[in-house]
Amino acid sequence: MCGFAGFIDRSERISDAQAALRAMSAAVAHRGPDGEGTWFEPRLGVAVAHRRLAILDRTSAAAQPFVSASGRWVLAYNGELWNFRELRRGLEAAGHPVGPSTGDTAVLAAMLDAHGVEATLPLLDGMFAFAAVDLHERSFWLARDRFGVKPCFWGHADDGHGAPVFVFGSELRALTACPVFRNRVSPFAIASVLGSLATRGERTVWEGMHALRPGHALRLELSSGRISHREWFSARAAAASVRQQGFHGDRAEMVRAFDGLLESAVRRRLPSDVPLGAFLSGGIDSSLVVAAMRHAGVAPLRTFTVGFEHAQYDERAHARAVAKALGTDHHEVMVPDADLVSLVEDAIGCFDAPFADSSAVATLAVSRAARASVGVVLSGEGGDEFFGGYERHLRGFALSRWIGSVPLFVRQRMADAIGLMGSDSWEWVLKQLEPTLPSALRRTQRGRLMQKLAAILRARDEEDLWRSFFAVWPDPASLIQQLPSDLWAATVVREARDMPGRFPQDEHGFFDELLLRDQTIYLPDDILTKLDRCTMESGLEARDPMLDMRLFEFAWRIPPAWRSDGTVGKMLLRDALRRRLPAELHGIAARSKQGFGVPLRAWLSGPLASWADDVLDPRRLDAQGILHGQAAHAALAQARAGDEGAAQRAWTACVVSRWCEREGVDGARVARA
């Protein structure tokens, strides 16, 4: 795993290109502590830097930027190709030289020599992003993997005093290190973070900067500066294609088929020249991955989990039981309350944009612990998005029918009534009624679920319902000084209109659309962003067997009715886990999803209380000129009164404010909407 950065400056705006390249490279040094390299061609104005985390072929033969055997391509690459050995054999059989390196970088360069970018991309099985200069055609390429496991950003750095400079890199902080970067912060991006924890789609926190979407490639003609985009992989098209194939067999055969595909996916991700381990939360997905690693003969098999001083969010006992049953060398990370302020500050700082998914705190803690003894970890990301593991997958269609039949004003009154009781009160009431409750409310964090239900009740239509599943601030623009609420509302309407798919009126179609949006939006923009930044900040490579293309295709062949029994999702994965664990642990396969969660509301009232009071001090926020101080501080007060939803709102405000302070951003640097 690595990081790359660079620029294309045909107008000679940058006076010292080498110094600029070193600065951009230094911004992503954490992604590659094992080596660095640069390449600069002044006649083309193209500069490329690379930082290396050496996992395969740790010798200098695999150093980057890497020049292909023909001399045509200059490559800076971040990722791993699971099929690089098969590709190498095919290249050599066809007479294409690969070079002395035994790793996958040389193979990718040889593939570009043999086939070019567009023909190569569909042949790659892996997680990757790369920048490539074609010296023959005088063009520049960026490309990103199918599901967005690895990040890639591009845009035009602009100081307002001349032609903008094209910049690119693995993280936004590399782009902002360009000496002519004076771009402003987008208030729409801040609203996205406040509204749904992260920026979404191509939008980034900086105006003029873009995220290259999963399954896309960008081509820039060096002579003219013309940019064109190619979608080389469409999850929607691929899902529709394999759905028509269906699955011919009974449920037992389906479980066996899943087992075989997961085993194969895990084995493809095991090759490493550094020690290897796994994250183990004690949930279904990570337990399945660890079980497959054990079956593949990984020894020693080191597993890692994290816990906090709050029993409801402490997953260590479940993870410990799975680790004991599978015979792993298990490591537990206990984060004491006294260390939380420092850890939270580090978690905010390891992201190159405001990122308010609070589970990043736990992910960073477990990543740091794992890095002390391994260089690569396998993780269970993707299981929920591929196989329907979230509550919204189970309840989404029923909720859509319900909001369509109950008048909005009635639902708003119901939501107001729910809001009269705090999360703790709902938790107590529902615990008393537990024997009579539906399965959705016989779970942990029931009070938080009721707060989420209140937001759902206010949805106006299916699109609004989908947004409510992720909503934090219902009107995030009301918190932003430079963004009128009506302008933000118009933006939401426009983005909803431009969504590639709609929610069909039948149950299966609605379920499919939820999965597709999770796979193409929530997964890359939240889950995989969190995993990439937290592991790379720790100098650790994470691999995700569940995000295997064969498992993606298999998941879309499964009849929707077989994914859920109406009470829980991921039925096949639960059945598969029961086959892996002894009978006394089968209860783990029936657990509700939790993952590496954190006791956010308890933190804001306890060990983070002084920190949060300081960050959300109304005078401080008003002086900063980005958020409305009274509104942000009111959310903190509501959280301490027992409102779980308000804790989420206060947290997002804390993240935005602290990230902007760390980056030196105040109201004058925020673009005017």
Please compute the mean of the pLDDT values over residues 402-412 and round it to a whole number: 90
Q: How confident is the model at residue 528 (pLDDT cuts 50, 70, 90)?
A: very high
Residue 89 within any structural domain of the chain: yes
E strands present in 222-298: 227-231, 276-279
Task: Look at residue 359 and tell me whether its pLDDT is greater than 60.
Answer: yes
Task: Look at residue 179 and tell me whether its pLDDT is greater than 90.
Answer: yes
User: Which residue among 443, 474, 509 closes a domain?
Assistant: 509
pLDDT value at residue 566: 72
What six digits make up the tokens of 433? 């009624």
Residue 110 within any structural domain of the chain: yes
Task: Look at residue 548 and tell me whether its pLDDT is greater than 80.
Answer: yes
CA gap 347, 353 in Å, rounded: 11
CA gap 165, 163 in Å, rounded: 7
Residue 666 within any structural domain of the chain: no
Paired strand residues for 335: 308
DSSP tag of 185 = B
What six digits make up the tokens of 173? 């902080």
CA gap 160, 180 in Å, rounded: 9
CA gap 440, 608 in Å, rounded: 31
Q: Exposed, middle or buried by CB within 10 Å (0-12, 13-18, 19+), for 223?
A: exposed
Which of helix, strand or coil describes residue 112? helix
Task: Tell me the whole-structure pTM to 2 decimals.
Answer: 0.94
Residue type, 613: D
Residue 124 within any structural domain of the chain: yes
**HSE of 383, CA atoms in CB hemisphere, 13 A:** 26
What six digits make up the tokens of 343? 């850890």
pLDDT value at residue 578: 92
pLDDT value at residue 120: 98
Which of helix, strand or coil describes residue 39? strand
Domain carrying residue 418: 394-509
| More confident of the two residues 313 and 231 | 231
pLDDT value at residue 616: 98
Please compute the mean of the pLDDT values over residues 46-52 and round it to a whole number: 96
Residue with tokens 């996992």: 55
Q: Exposed, middle or buried by CB within 10 Å (0-12, 13-18, 19+), for 133?
A: buried
Q: pLDDT tens digits for 641-653?
A: 888 889 999 999 9
Task: Look at residue 453 and tell me whether its pLDDT is greater than 90.
Answer: no
Residue 351 within any structural domain of the chain: no
Please spell the DSSP secondary structure of 448-478, one letter per residue.
Answer: HHHHHHHHHHT--SHHHHHHHTT-SSSSGGG
CA gap 220, 454 in Å, rounded: 47
pLDDT value at residue 85: 95
CA distance to 224, 271, 652, per residue, from 640 (Å): 57, 48, 15
Proportion of the chain above pLDDT 70, given as a percent? 95
CA distance to 52, 74, 102, 123, 145, per residue, from 85 (Å): 21, 21, 9, 13, 18
Task: Look at residue 113 and tell me whether its pLDDT is greater than 70.
Answer: yes
- Least confident range from 26-40, 312-326, 478-492, 610-624: namely 312-326
Task: Look at residue 565 and tell me whether its pLDDT is greater than 80.
Answer: no
Domain CATH for 15 = 3.60.20.10
Task: Look at residue 596 and tell me whether its pLDDT is greater than 70.
Answer: no
- Those residues whose C-beta lies under 8 Å from the C-beta of residue 584, and which sit 6 or more positions away, are none
CA distance to 38, 72, 99, 421, 460, per residue, from 514 (Å): 43, 43, 45, 30, 17
Q: What is the mean pLDDT of the chain?
A: 91
Residue 531 within any structural domain of the chain: no
User: Which residue among 468, 492, 509 closes a domain?
Assistant: 509
CA gap 215, 208 in Å, rounded: 21
Task: Look at residue 437 and tell me whether its pLDDT is greater than 70.
Answer: no
Q: How confident is the model at residue 434 (pLDDT cuts 50, 70, 90)?
A: low
Residue 456 within any structural domain of the chain: yes
Q: How confident is the model at residue 285 (pLDDT cuts 50, 70, 90)?
A: very high
| Torsion angle in degrees (nearest 10) through CA of 480, 486, 490, 495 | 30
Q: Is the dihedral of CA 663, 669, 670, 671 positive or negative?
A: negative
Yes or no: say if 69 and 92 are a contact pair by the CB < 8 Å rule: no
Q: How confident is the model at residue 435 (pLDDT cuts 50, 70, 90)?
A: low
Yes or no: say if 339 and 357 are a contact pair by the CB < 8 Å rule: no
pLDDT value at residue 444: 54
Parallel, antiparallel or unpaired: strands 541-543 and 376-378: parallel
Please spell the DSSP secondary structure of 399-440, one letter per residue.
Answer: HHHHHHHS-HHHHHHHHHHHHTS-HHHHHHHHHHTGGGS-GG
Per the structure, how many domains does the chain have? 2
Q: How confident is the model at residue 214 (pLDDT cuts 50, 70, 90)?
A: very high
CA gap 196, 472 in Å, rounded: 6
User: Which residue among 233, 252, 272 closes a domain?
Assistant: 233
Encode 533-554: b = buried (16+ Cβ within 10 Å), e = exposed: bbbbbbbbbbbbbbbbbebbbb
pLDDT value at residue 540: 95
pLDDT value at residue 312: 64
Residue 476 within any structural domain of the chain: yes
Q: Is the dihedral of CA 23, 28, 29, 30 positive or negative?
A: positive
Q: Exposed, middle or buried by CB within 10 Å (0-12, 13-18, 19+), for 114?
A: buried
Type and span of the H or E element at 356: none
CA gap 47, 521 in Å, rounded: 31
Per the document, the length of the chain is 673
For Cα atoms 278, 280, 286, give the angle at the middle one, nearest 5 degrees: 90
| More confident of the two residues 40 and 585 | 40
Nearest CA-CA partner of 1 in 59, 53, 66, 77: 53
For Cα atoms 121, 126, 131, give the angle at the middle one, nearest 5 degrees: 55
- Least confident range from 159-163, 229-233, 296-300: namely 159-163
pLDDT value at residue 585: 77
- Least confident range from 33-37, 133-137, 158-162, 308-312: namely 308-312
CA gap 263, 356 in Å, rounded: 34
Nearest CA-CA partner of 165 in 363, 13, 297: 13
CA gap 452, 468 in Å, rounded: 8
Q: Exposed, middle or buried by CB within 10 Å (0-12, 13-18, 19+), for 522?
A: buried
The three-state DSSP-derived secondary structure of 505-520 is CCHHHHHHHHHHHHHH
